[in-house]
Amino acid sequence: MMQLTCPWCGVRDESEFTCAGTSHIARAAVTASDEEWGRYLFFRENPKGVHLERWRHVYGCGQWFNLARHTVTHEVLAVYRMSEPPPPLTQGSA
Amino acid sequence: MKYSALALVRGALSGGRSWGPAWRNPEPKPRYQVLIIGGGGHGLATAYYLARNHGVRDVAVIERGWLGGGNTGRNTTIVRSNYLFPESARLYDFSLKLYESLSRELNFNIMLSQRGLILLAHSRHDLESMSRWANAMQMNGIDAQLLTRDQVAERAPLLEMSPEARFPVLGGFLQRRAGTARHDAVAWGYARAADSLGVDIIQNCEVTGFSRAADGAVSGVLTSRGAIAAERIGIAAAGHSSVLAKLAGFALPVTSYALQAMVSEPVKPALDTVVLSPGTGAYVSQSDKGEMVLGASLDLFPSYAQRGSFAITQSILAATLAIFPAFSRLRLLRQWAGIVDVVHDSSPIIGATPVPNLYINCGWGTGGFKGIPVGGWTLAHALATGRSHELAEPFQLSRFMSGRLIDEAAAAGIAH
């Protein structure tokens, strides 16, 4: 089982959290074309490597936060708050 | 060599020396008419139908690992066509019909066992939505039958049927033609049949890039075993579709997740149908070897690791025991995971990509095994003719721009 570090509660088991997908997706403009809107809604990079993603400590404090996590090793490279930009990362070990 | 009872006798009398390899292990040629990336069920079926339906025999299937070693070797072997929408019903029932004649077609026993699949209704709302679902299937010409509580109990006597149960069973519905097939045999059968029609199957050959012509069309691939040119290329790589799409310079509406499954130690026959409980998320069948085959929810965070999280293993086992308390004494034999390509409407993508001459078959998510024959059939059509097959027409990448999604909750059968 993965263990994640909630910025408020500390290290907890994965089963206390839910993942809500990719972070930092910019909402498409109201004037966006169908193609731009489709890309915004559905298309994701889905990297095999480091992924910036939103998690929520749903069975804990209920707070949201961001993770930089490697999708093969599940190594967590950074934990940062929703309002923060992604930290500079050196690529995790694959 | 044709497999038959006579061949079996000859094999036995020769002490097994008359059996040859089922397919060749060729070196890649520098150029093919069609190249297929991914040597799982979908890729091998594509190669077979290219040769059989379209006479295109200058074909290679390239596979990063070993044949059928991805999701084809990691699923729970269930085949069914109990879908809600007409587009899905046509696609999946065509697949099931191909499965029904596949052993004869390929001269390879895929051990199809149409033992039926029961969906359990645990509430009045389940009963209502299932009667709608079963009616929709019948309207689409697919067999479906609502079951009373007693009929469910008769078909699966070990189910927890007591009124005090955490998930009481109020009834269910049955697709009789659903069942299981031997997953490895499907890959091996297609591989052998494709090979005998001249298709080259090249294992341990990883794609590292695409070469492009001046007009932007793909003209070949770069691999760990050198460059291979091709007029048209098909991708059938399931959970790794996004990785290949990125190499080719386009994006997909796909997220890769680990889907795990497990088997118990083998026991005597105790369950002769497939049971799926949307309420608990568990699905259970018994393999011909006697193992209870268990599956349930995705590990709901993006993953390319072919292993499942123990948190989900626990919840799958808890869900299984809630409906089959008698299994609590069984010991677990193996647990594994495959990387599945999930899209928002749980329906596949089969057809052209933004890159000319490059076609894709992906997005089957948690239900790709049942779609192998039709996935191969329709991708082969696109590769041979440059046009979408009629069955695959609604399943184009462009639906994510037009908004014409086929939001098939029945695709998973359970709530992921």
- Least CB-CB distance to B304: which of A37, A48, A53? A48
B 204-243 → A contacts, CB under 8 A: 240, 242-243
- B266 and B331 assigned to the same domain: yes
- B166 and B275 assigned to the same domain: yes
DSSP structural state of residue B30:
S
- Least CB-CB distance to A71: which of B304, B309, B310? B304
| CA angle, residues B357, B359, B362, in degrees to nearest 5 | 165
**What SS3 state is found at B322?**
helix
CATH number of the domain bearing residue B331: 3.30.9.10
| pLDDT of A94 higher than 60 | no
Q: Which residues of A touch B401 (CB under 8 A)?
A: 34-35, 37-39
Last residue of a domain, one of B288, B316, B342: B342
**What SS3 state is found at B12?**
helix
**Which structural domains are found in chain A, ordered by start?**
3-80 (3.30.2270.10)
Q: Which residues of B touch A14 (CB under 8 A)?
A: 309, 311
Nearest C-alpha of chain B: how many angstroms from A29?
15
The per-residue pLDDT for range B228-285, each reduced to its tens digit, is 999 999 999 999 999 999 999 999 999 999 999 999 999 999 999 999 998 898 999 9
Q: Which residues of A touch B300 (CB under 8 A)?
A: 18-19
- Least CB-CB distance to A48: which of B243, B343, B403? B243
Q: What does pLDDT average to in each consecutive run of 10 residues of chain B (416 residues)?
A: 93 92 96 98 98 98 96 96 95 98 98 97 94 94 96 97 93 97 98 98 98 97 97 98 97 97 97 94 95 92 94 93 96 96 96 98 96 98 98 98 89 63
Give every CB contact of residue B49 below 8 A, 6+ residues apart in sequence: B376, B377, B380, B381
Q: Is residue B55 part of a domain?
A: yes
- B195 and B235 assigned to the same domain: yes
Answer for the pair B375, B350: CB distance below 8 angstroms, yes or no. Answer: yes
Helices B41-54 & B372-385 angle (0-180, nearest 10): 50
Beta-carbon count within 10 A of A56 CB: 18
Phi, psi of B186 (to 5 degrees): -65, -45
| pLDDT of A92 higher than 60 | no
**Amino acid at residue number A63:** Q
Beta strands B145-148 and B171-175, pairing class: antiparallel
Cβ distance of A42 and B253 shorter than 8 Å: yes
- Least CB-CB distance to B401: which of A14, A35, A44? A35
CATH number of the domain bearing residue B77: 3.50.50.60
- B99 and B191 assigned to the same domain: yes
Torsion, Cα of B29, B31, B32, B36 (10° steps) = 80
Instruction: Return the pLDDT at B163.
Output: 86
Q: Which residues of A touch B362 (CB under 8 A)?
A: none
Q: Interface pTM (ipTM) of the complex?
A: 0.94
Q: Which domain holds residue B362?
A: 21-108+182-253+345-411
Q: What is the DSSP string of B242-296?
A: HHHHHHHT--BS-EEEEEEEEEE---SS---SEEEETTTTEEEEE-TTSPEEEEE
Task: Give the count of alpha carbons within 13 A of A72, CB side only.
Answer: 10
Answer for the pair B292, B264: CB distance below 8 angstroms, yes or no. Answer: yes
Q: Which residues of B touch A18 (CB under 8 A)?
A: 300
- B235 and B131 assigned to the same domain: no
Task: Give the count of alpha carbons within 13 A of B368, CB side only.
Answer: 34
Cβ distance of B255 and A2 shorter than 8 Å: no
Last residue of a domain, one of B342, B358, B377: B342
- B277 and B321 assigned to the same domain: yes
Structure tokens at B180: 């299981």
The per-residue pLDDT for range A32-84, each reduced to its tens digit, is 999 999 999 999 999 999 999 999 999 999 999 999 999 999 999 999 999 99
**What SS3 state is found at B59?**
strand
**What SS3 state is found at A33?**
coil
- B103 and B146 assigned to the same domain: no
